[in-house]
Amino acid sequence: MEMELSESAGNLGGIGAKTRRANLKQADNGAIGAAEHWSGLRIVIVGLCFLLNAIDGMDVVIMSYIAPVLSADWQVSPETLGMVFSASLAGMVLGCFFVAPLADRWGRRPLIIIAMSAITACMILSGFARSLTELVALRFIIGIWIGAILASMAALAAEFAPTKQKALGVAIMNAGYPLGAVFTGLALAPLLPHYGWHMMLLGAGIISLVIMPLLFVFMPESIDFLVRRQPKNALERVNKVLARLGEAPINRLPPRAETSGSFNFGAVFHPSRLRATVALWIGIFMGFMSLYFVISWITKLAAGAGLSVENAIYVGAIMNFGAFLGTVAMGKLSNIFPLQRVGAVFLTVAAAMLVVFGTVAMPLPVILANAFVMGMAIYGGFNSFYGLAALLYPAAVRSTGIGWAMGAGRFGAVVGPTLGGVLIGAGASLSTVMIVFAVPLLVAAVCALFASPK
């Protein structure tokens, strides 16, 4: 399948124009499009990945914010609410495993555009859902397409970031998720009581619709994909992207790899990467388990602890603001210290913050401070796995490698909210629940140390 969508929205690579050379060059696969510094288009591409992840954060976390009102409106039990939370997460598992690898055959750009179109349509339809079955089905479909593009966004952010700042590029992309969640919470807190949760879901879909034109205008195809797959007019398309980047064109493509276009799962489990891949999968599973429990239940738990719905939403929002700063801090620190060590430290701090949240009685300002640090640590630590995955796998299987790792991990994302609902429905205390979900973060911290490429 090949989509010929507009890929020439003007030359945004003026900043890097000084790097042009007079003569055409024949670059090897790994060097084509590589650069040491940011250019206008590189900033735009990473910024778009950031924005798309912010939309995904809004689409996923909005269910946490509307949970108290939804459960009261439809008389939903904690166990059933846990299943509602897990619907989109279960869809993400399928998307990561079975749809994300298609980016290594079709291209990153077409898959992202198709996925965002489906997400937008389902979010708008969610605003008109009149039964739990309809809502769960729509959330499941949204999850499939969110899972499908996470790997492509990480791969594009890593590819177009400067050579020595790829981990930072991925960290910036990941920072979009919590920031989208922050603004969603700040918008919902005053609006939800007046307009209801149906309008909130509809509004989220409309915001996604407004963003769509930016993808058609500014998002280029991956150079790595064009060089490996070599679809029709590949050389011309590569040179168009290079021109927009402010880089010199090439006069021919390197020989096409024999395995180009295949899923090539054997490369993901190559003996040189086997230990790191296993550690990556386990770490992501454990991290997702605790992360999505916190994302899904923090607002409901805060409301159940006696806070008003509005203040409970602010707790979730401040946690996600901390997550944004934590993700950026992780990316910056990874340029100074080994990424796996930074991730392990963040995840250990996150485990401690969960225990404090569940066992220590605190006034609202201290609760907000705790939520802020919790968000910094749990998001920053978990998102180190995206950077580790991007560094672990070569370009030919990067979307497949990241997608499968995130797909395996998202079983944890399904287990987390569901287990939380079971524990809460069974009457487990807040301290017990938080301690239970602190343990997987410690396991994830250990795995991060072994998930780096040799």
Q: Is residue 6 part of a domain?
A: no
- Residue 15, pLDDT above cutoff 50: no
Percentage above 90 pLDDT, the chain: 43
DSSP 220: P
Backbone angles phi, psi at 25, to 5 degrees: -120, 150
Q: Which comes out higher in pLDDT, residue 24 or 230? A: 230
Confidence grade of residue 11 (pLDDT, cut at 50, 70, 90): very low
With respect to residue 8, please indicate whether it lies within any of the assigned structural domains.
Answer: no
What does the DSSP assignment read for 252-305?
SPPPPPTTTTS--HHHHT-TTTHHHHHHHHHHHHHHHHHHHHHHHHHHHHHHHT
Residue 364 inside a domain? The answer is yes
CATH code, domain carrying 124: 1.20.1250.20
* Nearest CA among 307, 306, 314 for reference residue 65: 314
What is the per-residue pLDDT for 258? 59
**Do the domain assignments include residue 14?**
no
Report the C-alpha gap between 267 and 273 in whole angstroms.
9
In a domain, 12, yes or no: no
pLDDT at 265: 63
pLDDT digits (tens, 9 = 90+) for 329-356: 887 888 889 889 999 999 999 999 999 9
The answer to whether 317 and 375 are in contact (CB under 8 A) is no
pLDDT at 8 over 60: no
- Residue 86: which domain range? 26-255+264-450
Q: What is the domain count for the chain?
A: 1
- 107-112: average pLDDT: 94
In tens, the pLDDT along 246-298 reads 888 898 888 876 554 445 567 777 777 888 889 999 999 999 999 989 988 98
pLDDT at residue 365 is higher than 80? yes
